[in-house]
Amino acid sequence: MTKLAFLEAMNFDELWVLHERLTKILSDKIASEKLELDKRLAQLNGADLGESQETQPRRRKYPKVLPKYYNPSAPNEKWSGRGKMPRWLVAALQAGRKLEDFRIDTAEKSDS
């Protein structure tokens, strides 16, 4: 007699009840495994976040910088004088213009 012969000897109703019980047991085990894995993942994520915060210092907040230079051909294009120089200004400087030609007047600043 094979190991599964007793299953073959069972009638349909008995097999169906067994199937439902097994399905319930399996779904409970899967749910508990998933819960355990979620807890472990949360612990690992918490540890990763904690380490990264300790090793990387927080950046200081900088105040908003008002623009100092503008593009006369497109007045909405402005530059604060910090960071990479905009292309329109680089092209104008290469054409022989001076940086002071693009300076925003202080009176113009107070109006806006």
Q: Which helix (H) or strand (E) holds 26?
A: helix 12-55
For β-strands 74-79 and 69-71, DSSP reports them as antiparallel
Domain hosting 92: range is 69-111
Residue 37 included in any domain: yes
Residue 60 included in any domain: no
Residues 39 and 73 in one domain: no
Residues 18 and 48 in one domain: yes
| Model pLDDT, residue 1 | 59
Residue 50 included in any domain: yes
Q: Which residues contact 72 (CB under 8 A, 6 or more apart)?
A: 102
Residues 17 and 41 in one domain: yes
Residues 17 and 48 in one domain: yes
CA distance 23 to 19: 6
Residues 105 and 79 in one domain: yes
Residue 62 included in any domain: no
Residue 40 included in any domain: yes
Decide: helix, strand or coil at residue 92: helix
| Model pLDDT, residue 58 | 80
CA distance 44 to 51: 11
| Model pLDDT, residue 2 | 75
Enter the pTM of the model: 0.42
Residue 3 included in any domain: no
| Model pLDDT, residue 49 | 56
Burial class (CB in 10 A: 0-12, 13-18, 19+), 67: middle
One-letter amino acid identity for 55? Answer: T
| Model pLDDT, residue 106 | 59
Count of the separate structural domains present in the chain? 2
Give, for all 112 residues of the chain, the pLDDT tens digit: 577 888 888 999 999 999 999 999 999 999 999 999 999 998 888 766 555 555 677 888 888 889 999 999 998 999 999 999 999 999 999 999 999 999 998 555 455 5
Residue 28 included in any domain: yes
Residue 4 included in any domain: no
Residues 49 and 85 in one domain: no
